[in-house]
Amino acid sequence: MGKLKLGPLEDDKPVKISVELPAALHRDLLAYAEILGRESGQAVEPAKLVAPMVARFMATDRGFAKMRHAARSRSQRAGSAPPKAE
């Protein structure tokens, strides 16, 4: 069996948002949660996967990282503090 990109979910204070998913994506999310639950031995709520999946996507997006770094560098050169991550 292959290794999933997501590991155990962190317990963090959430910010609530609403999103609409296409039905096919929702089915895939349900399947992912089922497989992750089987591998971890614990039930996984599919909605709890969205945040770590988005975080993983953003963490591995080289274009985003490059542009974010450039924006922070410009902010620091202009004398303002970089935005804090929450």
Q: What is the pLDDT of residues 40-73, one digit of tens each?
A: 999 999 999 998 999 999 999 888 888 888 988 8
Looking at residue 80, its pLDDT comes to 58
- The predicted model scores a pTM of 0.67
Structure tokens at 40: 């971890």
Q: Is residue 16 part of a domain?
A: no
Q: Domain count of the chain?
A: 1
Q: Is residue 5 part of a domain?
A: no
**Orientation angle between helical segments 23-40 and 47-59, nearest 10 degrees:** 90
- 7/40 Cα distance (integer angstroms): 9
Q: What is the pLDDT of residues 16-44, one digit of tens each?
A: 889 999 999 999 999 999 999 999 999 99
**How far does CA 4 lie from the centroid of its chain?**
14
Q: Is residue 69 part of a domain?
A: yes
Q: Is residue 30 part of a domain?
A: yes
Domain residue limits at 52 = 23-77
Q: Is residue 85 part of a domain?
A: no
- 15/23 Cα distance (integer angstroms): 24
Q: Is residue 50 part of a domain?
A: yes
Q: Is residue 84 part of a domain?
A: no
Looking at residue 86, its pLDDT comes to 53
